[in-house]
A = this chain, B = another copy of it.
């Protein structure tokens, strides 16, 4: 099956308190989304509409560092101004997920308080407005150990299992697959970034043609690797 990804156009700048869900529904309507599609949204517009924005005391590195330390539950690595921190959600990322790009001057955008809940609310609202319930993925842009360049990953999902479990599936020789869990939500997030970019003003995309497992799912419960399983803490 072929896959297509369309940018969702016509959503302007978002400020705290804006009805982003309503704006998303209006902009999506013309594309004819279905229950089999996935709507991908960058977290920044979600955070802004939910008011997860803070004012910085000043534009210097100290104010920024204090904010990162406030948002972090643990500093994982630090080198110069680069801080890799664990957030209260369990994400391990640069600056504890705080982002000043595409934030109004003098402010910084935090991660949504509960990105899975944000995704569920967006999906419910799309259902109410459009009569269809596509899956929803909320993304952020993360760096990774060992590889240069950032990629978008899923920080919240609704209506889909973020992980496709292939345990028990056999390959073309009848051998059980070594790869047992594919992070479909992260692959969808990365794919959608290809039409959104970082400087384009496009904050959402409609992904069609992905085979996913519909139903409840959660990045927090299904994706974040528990500390006792993790080899890199």
Q: List residues of chain B with CB within 8 A of the CB of A73.
A: none
Chain B's nearest CB lies how many Å from the CB of A168? 10
**Residue in B101, B169, B170, B224 whose CB lies within 8 Å of A146:** B224
Chain B's nearest CB lies how many Å from the CB of A74? 12
Q: Contact between B194 and A3 (Cβ–Cβ < 8 Å)? A: yes
Provide the bound-state CA to CA distance between A162 and B150, in Å. Answer: 11
Q: Chain A: how many interface residues by the 8 Å CB criterion?
A: 74
Per the 8 Å Cβ criterion, residues 1-47 of A in contact with B are: 1-7, 13
Q: Contact between B169 and A149 (Cβ–Cβ < 8 Å)? A: no
Q: Contact between A190 and B186 (Cβ–Cβ < 8 Å)? A: yes
Q: List residues of chain B with CB within 8 A of the CB of A104.
A: 173
Pick from A50-58, A116-124, A130-138, A195-203 the stretch touching chain B.
Answer: A195-203
* In the complex, A144 has a CB within 8 A of chain B: yes
Q: Contact between B198 and A179 (Cβ–Cβ < 8 Å)? A: yes
Q: Contact between A177 and B150 (Cβ–Cβ < 8 Å)? A: no
A169 and B1 in contact, given A101-B175, A147-B153, A181-B150 (Cβ under 8 angstroms): no
Q: Contact between B7 and A2 (Cβ–Cβ < 8 Å)? A: yes
Q: Contact between A171 and B102 (Cβ–Cβ < 8 Å)? A: yes
Chain B's nearest CB lies how many Å from the CB of A116? 15
Q: List residues of chain B with CB within 8 A of the CB of A187.
A: 151-152, 190-191, 193-194
A2 and B13 in contact, given A146-B92, A231-B84 (Cβ under 8 angstroms): no
Q: Contact between A2 and B3 (Cβ–Cβ < 8 Å)? A: no
A184 and B149 in contact, given A103-B173, A199-B171 (Cβ under 8 angstroms): yes
Provide the bound-state CA to CA distance between A43 and B132, in Å. Answer: 38
Return the chain B residue nearest A185 by Cβ. B149
* In the complex, A65 has a CB within 8 A of chain B: no
A149 and B181 in contact, given A102-B173, A198-B166 (Cβ under 8 angstroms): yes
Closest 5 pairs between A and B when the two form their complex, measured CB to CB: A149-B183, A191-B191, A145-B232, A190-B190, A187-B190
